[in-house]
A and B are shown apart, each in its own frame.
Chain A
Amino acid sequence: MTHNSNRKSGQLKIFLGYAAGVGKTYAMLKEAKEQLQQGTDVVIGYIEPHPRKETNALIEGFEVVPTKVFSYKGKSFRELDLDGIIQRAPDLVLIDELAHTNIPNLRHAKRYGDVQELLNQGINVYTTLNIQHIESLHDLVEEITQIKVRERIPDAIVDQASQIKLVDIEPEELIKRLKEGKIYKQPYVEKALNHFFQQDNLIALREIALRRIADTVHLKTKCIQLNTVQNNVLEHILVGISSSPTNAKVIRTAARLAQALHGKFTALYVDRGNSLTLSKADEERLKDHMKLAQQLEGKVVTVQEDSIATAIANYAQISGVTKLVIGRTMTKSNFFGKTKITDKINELLPDLSIYIVPDQENTPKKKIDVKTDFKLQPLDFLKMIFVFVIVALVGLFFKSLGISEVNIITIFILGVLIVAIWTTGWLMNIISSLVAVLSFNFLFTKPIFSFEVYHQDYPMTFTIMFVSGVITSSLMKKVKMQGRQAIQKSYRMETLLETNRKLQSASTYERLIEEGAMEIVKITERPVCFYLVDDKQMLHHTFYKSPFLSTTQNCEQEHRFSDKNEVAIVYWVINNERTAGMTTDVFKEAHGYYVPFLSNNKVIGVMGISLHKKEQLPSFEWQVLHAILNDFSLALDKWQLLRINEDVRREKELEQIQSNLLRSISHDLRTPLTSISGHADILKTNDQKMSGNQRQTLYEDIYYNANRLVQLVENLLAVSKLSNGHFPLQMQEELLEDVIHEAIHQLSKNSTRPIQAYIEPEFLLAHMDTRLIGQVLINLLDNAVSYTPVESIVAVYAFERESNVIIEVRDTGKGIPDEQKIELFQTFKKSHMGQGDTKRGLGIGLSLCQTILKLHESELTVRDNIPHGTIFSFYLKRGGVVNES
């Protein structure tokens, strides 16, 4: 039993600096050299080419795993040879620049992915990192230095390091070094001095670095004190996720706060049912934000609620949130001057401290919203014109009937309402209200067919008409949206309940997998593939095609799943117990999205989902998918546990049978042994006194009993075979004729009685463990021959019945009385071995036969032969029909 838990994972040491040039690589190499001198097996995985002579000199003496050259878009890049290092398996590997982004097509998107895999393989890693690359610090750094940092690594990686060494020099010294050309080549020095390497920048960066180290040290000591029990964490920081572009900053701030306070960190997304109306860009951002929160070790929670404030307040209260972090934009009052979110939360939960984070880049967000929400569609206009033409006609009809104008206004308002229901976009509300007012004006107020009005009341009427039109239609839109939200909510609930029900009611493991896979096909509309895994080996995979694709497309997808590269990714997932493939950071270029399922710390299966490359799943479906995957994982786990229990039970049963069999067999051994040793003794001492005839009888007795012993040993071997692991049977399709004749042949060594075999049809095949069934036949025939008078006939019959083959051993002896028939098999169960050697069937033979047949899902039965005698009968599964070619 070698799983991951037993494998020691490697240790990570990070040499952290606050800027380039502080000497991280130098420090790393120096320390590695010491390790090398102490006899550690150190290799260099990747060292950034350096202009410094001192550093280059240090590299000498290390073994280097050569980097691999990859070409991408016409240029060639040198990248870490991950597989080379894993194969080389050193104690320690040196890898520069942890924050490096690999070129696409490589297994991991980022170098830290490579490093993590090496650690998982039990290889220790030394690496270097600059402070500005740490995710949670990145916008802090940006604020100070005005430089955008693209390559970032999650805080979790830094916290995972067993040691962090801060490589620190005075900023003045660093600038001096820069000027001496020790960091960059001359032409770049000037530029660097004016940008990044300004003294205030460096001082600030240095401070951040020192603080980060101090925080980590604090965390470590605290962890040790608390014995790393996470439950003792008192602070719980909550942050709201939105699709706003500034939200990322808010999340980072919250994460930093959580880290500084060593608290729990949760990110909450309030789904107001508008996920369908989100624009592509928003949708994308929302997903990115969720991923960011996860990367920053936050738990992402989604709730569906109309009001953000209530949702946050409810969640905060239930989950014991102590601090809420919220962006300033969220606190702004909205359209109709309702209370601010913060005020409302304050009202609901006065004890909660709220942190408001400035996020000034707010304006673009508003613009995007306006664009998406107020988008106009030509079809909507047609709808509107259609509605108003009917409204006008009805109005004209009413007027001809002499119905007052007030009622006609109501009809127009009704028209606005209908338009609101029928169309999308908020701008339509205003336009339709305006159209209503104008057409009313044009058609019904004097002077008719002009936009002028004579009566002074009309402007008032028009205003009221317009406002009420806008309000009613807005309300209508809202009702409509709530309806859609409710449908979505109930759809999600229904899907999950349905999945759950199906998974629960699956009768077999295979069925369970099928149900789970089909549910995922249903939700994603894409084909999936399930890889069954045992002991880190892929057993087989099953493809589930999507009814939403054509047959050829499905075929193509199926081929892709068995592609060499994809299978390699599945193996990676199995070995690393992590999701990979499309939409993740690992094997981004893969064809599918691969999720491992674990039970008992072992990967038992991998689900591959062939997501669409361009059209990504909307976040709502994504959430449902993950909920289903989660459900499926639990169901698989449950089955596995049941299976283990079943195995344990069977093993116990088998052990019981085995010990009983052994007990009876040793009893059976005694008789022939006594006879052999006794006879040999007589021959040895009284040889001269005996006549030739007497001696001959003794010889024959010895020979006969020795053969009986051989027979017993065969049974003993069969018993030992039964205990060989979980699957003691080696099932084969065997020709019954061969098996029966072999048994008769074996028996003919001991007895001279002829035994006939009648097999109908001739070439009958049956599924069996040949050896064990052979043993059953030998035992049955031996019994029949030994316990019936010489003149009675013993024969074997084999014939088909439905999908089975019935095999019978018939004799024409005296037969067995009914009360003894019951005892035949019971005696053994009770395991009292009274007079075992005198009565038929009380020895090991029949009990062993019964056990073997039980393992073949068969049973040994006994009945009377006509006119007299006994029939022992059992059945086996018939083999396939073989056709002559």
Chain B
Amino acid sequence: MNLKRILIIEDDIAIGNLMKMTIELHGYHYKLATKGKEALREVISMQPDVIILDLGLPDIDGIDIILKVRTWSQIPIIVVSARGEETEKIKALDMGADDYVEKPFSVDELLARIRAALRRSVSNVVTMKEQPIFTNGPLSIDYLSNTVFVNNKEIHLTPNEYKLLETLSKNLGKVLTHNYLLKQVWGDALDTDIPNLRVFMATLRKKIEKDLNQGKFIQTHIRVGYRMIHWEKSEEKKN
């Protein structure tokens, strides 16, 4: 099995070391870049499967790196940022980052995020989008007939709920911000609509997760947004 390549872009030595050690111990191939320019070079030469990016770099704004990478590649990007800096995270996600971890993070957390990102790059975004039927564990969505099944039982959703679920499923594993979802589902994004979105999401979750014995498809990222997770992953988490 060929090793997965992970590019770490982090200027803090201590955190860089921690990440390095974690990743090495779990059998990934890695490279560490401490500056933005160096990192951009590595992205091209190394062709990593996942990028872990600290937003506070000395030379280039982390957001710029996301923008540059996204011009030619869909490599999953996990952003590392301090807790509480929601606006920064939201900006990074809106600019194309896939996921984020908050400092201070635990080793398990980081590994889980890497696994999810790798799965995302493996399951190949393009083919997934083109398939008429989406399956994620017990959940399946028929994009052609706009129907949703959990454990082969059809679930009745309102048009907005369906749109929400569709948007989330087409971005499996990716954190979608409130604004992104509002734009996708309602067409425009007003801050005042966010409470509405929350309630929609809560009812949607109740409908599709009701019979799953605590299993989860959708994760709430408070103050940031929502994400649909791989079913296997949520099973893992429970253990």
CA distance A714 to B104 in the complex (A): 11
A749 closest partner in B (C-beta): B106
Q: Does B153 contact A (CB under 8 A)?
A: no
A762 contacts the other chain (CB 8 A): yes
Q: In the bound complex, do residue A735 and residue B199 qualify as a contact, i.e. CB atoms below 8 Å apart? A: yes
Complex contacts, A739 vs chain B, CB 8 Å: 222
Whether, in the assembled complex, A370 has its beta carbon less than 8 Å from a beta carbon of chain B, the answer is no
Which stretch of A178-186, A401-409, A848-856, A877-885 is in the interface?
Answer: A877-885
Q: For the complex, give the distance between the alpha carbons of A880 and B194 in Å.
A: 12
Q: By the criterion CB–CB under 8 Å, are A735 and B202 in contact?
A: yes
Contacts of A765 in B (CB 8 A): 195, 198-199
Contact of A763 among B106, B160, B199 (CB under 8 A): B199
**A residues 740-791 touching B (CB-CB < 8 Å):** 741-742, 749, 762-763, 765, 770-771, 774
Answer yes or no: A833 CB below 8 A from chain B CBs: no
User: How far, in Å, is A415 (CB) from chain B's closest CB?
Assistant: 75
A523 within 8 Å of B (CB atoms):
no
Contact check, B202 vs A737: say whether CB atoms are below 8 A apart: yes
Which of A732, A879, A885 meets B158, CB within 8 Å? A885
Q: Is the CB of A735 within 8 A of B198?
A: yes
Number of A-B contacts (CB under 8 A): 50
Assess whether A79 is interfacial by the CB under 8 Å rule: no
| Contacting pair A733 B195 (CB below 8 A) | yes
- In chain B, what residue has the closest Cβ to A882? B199
**Which residues on A sit within 8 Å (CB–CB) of B203?**
763, 884
Is B220 a contact of A879 with CB atoms below 8 Å?
Answer: no
Residue of B nearest to A739 (CB): B222
Interface flag for B183 (CB, 8 Å): no
**What separation, in Å, do the CA atoms of A578 and B198 have in the docked complex?**
48
The digit string for B82-96, where 1 denotes a CB below 8 A from any CB of A, is 011000000000000
B41 lies within 8 A of chain A by Cβ? no
Tell me, yes or no, whether A271 is within 8 Å of chain B by CB.
no
Q: Are A734 and B206 in contact (CB under 8 A)?
A: no
When C-beta atoms are compared, the residue in chain B nearest to A767 turns out to be B195
Q: What does the 1/0 interface line of A842-885 toward B look like (CB < 8 Å)?
A: 00000000000000000000000000000000000001101011
Interface size, chain B (Cβ < 8 Å)? 18
Chain B residues closer than 8 Å to A648, beta-carbon distance = none
Given A737-B202, A882-B199, decide whether A732 and B220 contact each other with a Cβ distance below 8 A: no
Are A882 and B160 neighbours in the complex by a CB distance under 8 Å? Answer: no
| Chain A stretch 704-751: residues in CB contact (< 8 A) with chain B | 710, 714, 717, 732-735, 737-739, 741-742, 749
**Does A882 contact B196, Cβ atoms closer than 8 Å?**
yes
B179-200 residues with Cβ-Cβ distance < 8 A to A are 194-196, 198-200
Closest to A710 in B: B104
Q: Which of B132-190 contact A (CB under 8 A)?
A: 158, 160
Establish whether residues A734 and B104, one from each chain, have CB atoms under 8 Å apart when the complex forms: no
Contacts of A735 in B (CB 8 A): 195, 198-199, 202
Residues of B within 8 A of A717 (CB): 83-84
Interface residues of B in 194-239 (CB under 8 A from A): 194-196, 198-200, 202-203, 206, 220, 222-223
Least CB distance from A669 to B in Å reads 15
From the candidates A771, A880, A885, name the one contacting B195 in the complex (CB within 8 A). A880
Q: Which residues of B contact A770 (CB under 8 A)?
A: 222-223
| A-chain residues with CB within 8 Å of residue B220 when the two chains form the complex | 738, 741-742
What are 5 A-B pairs at a CB distance below 8 A?
A717-B84, A738-B222, A771-B223, A774-B222, A885-B158
* Minimum-distance CB pairs A-B, first 9: A733-B195, A735-B198, A882-B199, A742-B222, A763-B199, A738-B220, A710-B104, A882-B196, A763-B202
A residues apposed to B, CB below 8 Å = 710, 714, 717, 732-735, 737-739, 741-742, 749, 762-763, 765, 770-771, 774, 879-880, 882, 884-885
Name B's A-contacting residues (CB within 8 A).
83-84, 104, 106, 158, 160, 194-196, 198-200, 202-203, 206, 220, 222-223
Given A741-B220, A771-B223, 16 more A-B residue pairs with CB atoms under 8 Å apart are A717-B84, A733-B195, A734-B195, A734-B198, A735-B198, A735-B202, A738-B220, A742-B220, A762-B206, A763-B199, A763-B202, A770-B222, A770-B223, A882-B199, A884-B199, A884-B200
